[in-house]
Structures are given as C-alpha cells and as structure tokens.
Amino acid sequence: MELTDEQRIKSIKSILQKLHNPGHRDTGDKTEILINRTRDYPGITNNSPTDERFFAISGKDVYASGIQWSCGTVAKTFCYLNSIQPKDEQLELKILISTHPDHLIDSMVNHTLPCVKMGDGKWHAIEPQRNIVENRPRHPMYPDMPFIMDEIKVGNKIHHIMKHMVDVPFEIMAVMSWPEYEEKCSDLGNFLKIGSKRDKRTQMLLAAIETVLQELNSNQQIGNIYNFCTKIQDSKLPIRVIKAQNWERETLMLTINGEKYTFGTRRKYLMLSKLMDEIEQEYTIDEFIKMVETTVKKHSHER
C-alpha cells in the first residue's frame, strides 16, 4: 500500500532524528575510525588515501560508526536508515549528484543529496545536514521540511540551501538509486567521471592520460612525474611541468579550453584541480626530462 504524504513526512523525520543522533560513536579521530571501518574493503589497501576511503565506506558502516565524512556519506546513511525502517514506512528514494558550474570538468566541488518521491509523483531533494539557511524557499504544505524546491532532473540547476552554498546554483549531473550509488560512486575515480561534464575532445584527452596513469601505477608501482613524462614524450598532449609559488616540488599541468589544471601521478585515475597559484617555473616535457637526467648524471659523477 502506497504511503500518504503525511506518512512520508513522518518517515523523513524519523530518519533525520536517527541520522542526527546515532547513539554510538567509534573511538579515535575521524581518520583512524575511517581506516578501521574500511580496512577489509575490496580495493582498499594500506596506501589508500582518506578521500578514497570515505567514498568507499557503506551507508551501513557510516551509521554504525556514528561519524560523517562528507555529503555523500550523509546521503548513504539516510538511505541506509530508510532501508531498516519497517517495510510499510520505507520511502522511495534516489540520490542526486550536483556540481558547481566552475568545476564541471574537474568535478571537485559537488553536493550529494537524497531525494524522496512524494504523492505528487515528483522527486524532492532533501538537505539532511543541519547548517541550512532560514530564508530558503519552503514547501507550501511542509515548510518545516528541508526540501529543495527545484525540479530534480539531470541537467537542471539546483539551488542548495546549505549556508555556504546559496550563492551559485549547481548543475544536476546524475540521479540514481541508492544501490546504484553505492556500487558506482563508492569508487572515487568513477564519481569524478559521473560528476563531470566534458565534451568528446576533452573525454578523449583525459582517457589518454588515464591510460598512462593506470600503466604507471600497476604491479605495486607508484607513478612519478619523470616516468609519466617519458611515457608521453612523443604524444603532443597539452601538458607542462610547473612549479607554482610556495610549492615545494613540481607538478603536472594540463590546459583544457584555456583553463589550467594540475594533477598528480600517484593514482590510477585522473584527479584534476584548478590552478589557483602563480606559476614560478614552467617546463615542456622534453625540458623537464633533460633537467632530471642532467641532475642525475651530475650527482653520479660527484660520487
């Protein structure tokens, strides 16, 4: 039997109450707790960084830990709590991923929310976190609910109601079921692709770089800039090696549609970050290779 909207609201309130008051908290700092909870996860190793771990952790383990790490873990927990409610109180839920308009290519500024299907047949995004603005648009029948009043559809703009997000509408990149989200978006590399918007030329460019990264980081090896440069030396990819102000070491820089992004070589997938600092030094791939080899040769002669 289908729930009434009054019953749906009651279920939402019940889930939010449990979400905000988990009743248990693992001991230790947040990173230590995250490592302990994800220690035996497939694909997670002792070298896995924190961001990969909080994308990997399940909604069940998040709730059991009593901790939250990101909007994604909050959305997973909301859906998990719904799944353990009595069958006749469970909501029809999905999860949406939205991205800041300045980060559609790199997908490094996102917001993830659960959505509930109400009696009007429409999906309504819910902001489960507490730090929301008071003067937000409100649902006419349920003004106390943290609903977002935009139409939930891929490609649409969504005006988030978290206090630090109200200035710029994000773009909805994906809407999927909770099981699909846990399957696809528990992998950070996949999440970055799902949360991005790239034209075909950019997709092909980034795929070529990821192929090199996967090769560099296979068989227990960890990629470095020099090895990356030797592999792409003849490729004519729009990549430079730079050292920016106040940076201790060099990094790789990629130019896409006139925008500059940096990335590292220690992951099998590409994680782009918009370059915000002044460049102190810039090298072509050939120049960097020659510089490294000259330095190595000089040090070997000095021994």
Write out the H or E segment, with its range, that includes residue 216: helix 200-216
H helix and E strand count, the chain: 10, 10
User: What distance lies between CA 267 and its chain's CA centroid?
Assistant: 15
> Hey, what are 155's tokens?
């490609």
Q: What is the DSSP letter of 15?
A: H
In the block, tokens 């120049």 appear at 287
Choose among 73, 57, 77, 103: nearest CA to 16: 77
Of residues 178, 168, 55, the one with CA closest to residue 104:
168
Q: Is the CA virtual torsion 227, 230, 235, 237 positive or negative? A: positive
Q: Is the pLDDT of residue 296 over 90?
A: no
**Each residue of 58-83: pLDDT tens digit?**
999 999 999 999 999 999 999 999 99
**Per-residue pLDDT tens for 100-157?**
999 999 999 999 999 999 999 999 999 999 999 999 999 999 999 999 999 999 999 9
pLDDT score of 116: 98
Q: Provide the 3-class DSSP secondary structure of residue 98.
A: strand
Residue 302 pLDDT exceeds 80: no
How far is it, in rounded angstroms, from Cα 9 to Cα 17?
Answer: 12
Do residues 6 and 118 touch, judged by C-beta distance below 8 A?
Answer: no
**Quick check: 77 and 83 in contact, CB under 8 A?**
no
**Burial of residue 107, with CB atoms counted within 10 A of its CB: 0-12 exposed, 13-18 middle, 19 or more buried:** buried
- Residues 174, 107: Cα–Cα separation, whole Å: 12
pLDDT at position 301 is 55
pLDDT at 303 over 90: no
Q: Please determine, for residue 300, whether its predicted confidence score (pLDDT) is greater than 80.
A: no
Q: How confident is the model at residue 298 (pLDDT cuts 50, 70, 90)?
A: low
SS3 category, 273: strand
Cα-to-chain-centroid distance, residue 190 = 9
Q: What is the mean pLDDT of residues 178-193?
A: 97
What is the pLDDT at residue 133?
Answer: 95
Task: Please report, as a single letter, which amino acid is at residue 34.
Answer: L
Give the three-class secondary structure for 105: coil
pLDDT reported for residue 247: 87
SS3 286: helix
